[in-house]
Amino acid sequence: MPDERQGSHHADNSTGRDRTVLVDSGYGRDANITLAKVSAELAGRPLDWLVNTHCHSDHMGGNAAVRRAHGCRLSIPIGEALLIEAWDEQALWLSYADQRCERFAFDDTIAPGDVLDWGDLQWRAMAAPGHDMGALMFYCEEERLLITGDALWENGFGVLLPGPGHGERLAATRSTLESIASLDVGTVIPGHGHPFSNAAGALERSLQRLAAFERDELRMARHVLKVMFVFSLLDRQRLPLSRIPGYLATIPVYADFNARYFQLSDAALAAMIVGELERAGAVKRSNGYLIACV
C-alpha cells in the first residue's frame, strides 16, 4: 500500500544460476507491464518462483497472471495463508477498500527464519509485522541487502490501521523497525520507490512518524483514508468531484472510519480527505474531476 506521495510498486526480480525469483507482483491493473518487465529481465529463461512479502493488492495483484504465464511456484508468508485460503475481502483490504485482486492459489508458505537460496545468494526471511501483521522481509547478510516490502520505505512505511488491535500494530511496527536497525544493511530494496542506501536515515524518519501515530489515533485514521483514497484514485485514474461524497458512502472503509472517528456528512468527509490531499500536493482538480499527482 503506497503512501499518498509514493509512486507505484516495483517488483524485484532476482536471477541466479539455479533458479529465477520474483519478489511481489505489483498491481493487478499493471499485470501486463509486470509480465513484460519480467520477460525482459529473464531474457528467455523461465521464472521459477514468485514470492510475496505480504498479501496486499499492490504486492499480489499480478500473482494469478504471473503464475499463469510462467507456471512458477508461488510462496506466500505463513501468516497470510489463512486469509488467502479464505479470500477474506475485509482483512485483505479488497472490496472493503475498493481494491481488486484476481484470486490465486499458492504452493507453499515461508516462515520467519527460513533460509532461501535466491540469485546465488542466501536470504533469511524475517518477521515484519505492523502494516501487515503477517508480513515478511528478506535479508541477505553477505551483500547487506534488505527487501522490506512495506515495512520500511525511504520516507515512511505502509499505512497502519487504527481501531481494534491498533496498539498491537503500533508495537509491532516499532519492533520491526528495531529489528531492521539491528541489521548491517547497505541497501534497502523497498516495496515502493527506488532502492536506497541510508537505512539509518529512513529508520529515523519512520520512528518519528510512528511516534506521531502513537500520540494521535485520529491522525492514523485520517492517514488511512487518504492513502486508501489515493490508491483507488490511481486505480480509477480519475473521479468526478461531484460523485466523491457518494463514492465514499459506498465503500465500507470510509463509512466505518467516518462512523467511528469523524461523524461527518459524506460531503464534509469528502472535503476533509480531498482538502488535505490537495494541500499535500497529492491530488488536483481538473475540469470537474479529481486526479492523482504522481
Which residues in this chain contact Zn ion in the complex, by CB under 5 A? 1, 56, 150, 158
**Alpha-carbon distance 129 to 119, whole Å?**
25
Smallest gap from Cβ 36 to Zn ion, in A, equals 23
Cα–Cα distance measured from residue 170 to residue 55, given in angstroms and rounded to the nearest whole number = 19
Q: How far is the CB of 41 from Zn ion (least distance, A)?
A: 23
Residue 25 CB, shortest distance to Zn ion, in Å, is 13
Q: Please state the closest distance from residue 65 (CB atom) to Zn ion, in A.
A: 19
Instruction: Choose between 150 and 235: whose C-beta lies nearer to Zn ion.
Output: 150
Shortest gap between Cβ of 6 and Zn ion (angstroms)? 11
CB of 192 to Zn ion, least distance (A): 9
Distance from C-alpha of 191 to C-alpha of 26, rounded to nearest angstrom: 9
- What residue is closest to Zn ion based on CB? 56
With the CA atoms of 269, 274, 280 and 284 taken in that order, what torsion angle do they form, in degrees rounded to the nearest 10?
A: 180
Closer Cβ to Zn ion, 28 or 119, answer by number: 28
Q: Name the residue nearer to Zn ion (CB basis): 89 or 266.
A: 89
Smallest distance, Zn ion to C-beta of residue 71, A: 26
Our CB check for Zn ion shows the closer of 1 and 146 to be 1
Taking the complex as a whole, the smallest distance from the CB of residue 26 to Zn ion amounts, in Å, to 12
Task: Decide whether 1 or 51 has the Cβ nearer to Zn ion.
Answer: 1
> Which is closer to Zn ion, CB of 12 or CB of 48?
12
Nearer to Zn ion, 163 or 289 (CB): 163
Convert the chain into a string of H (helix), E (strand) and C (coil): CCCCCCCCECCEEEECCCCEEEECCCCHHHHHHHHHHHHHHHCCCCCCEEECCCCCHHHHCCHHHHHHHHCCEEEEEHHHHHHHHHCCCCCCCCHHHCCCCCCCCCCEEECCCCEEEECCEEEEEEECCCCCCCCEEEEECCCCEEEEECCCECCECCCCCCCCCHHHHHHHHHHHHHHHHCCCCCEEEECECCCECCHHHHHHHHHHHHHHHHHCHHHHHHHHHHHHHHHHHHHHCEEEHHHHHHHHHHCHHHHHHHHHHHCCCHHHHHHHHHHHHHHCCCEEEECCEEEECC
Q: Which is nearer to Zn ion, 48 or 150 (CB)?
A: 150
Strands 49-51 and 238-240: unpaired
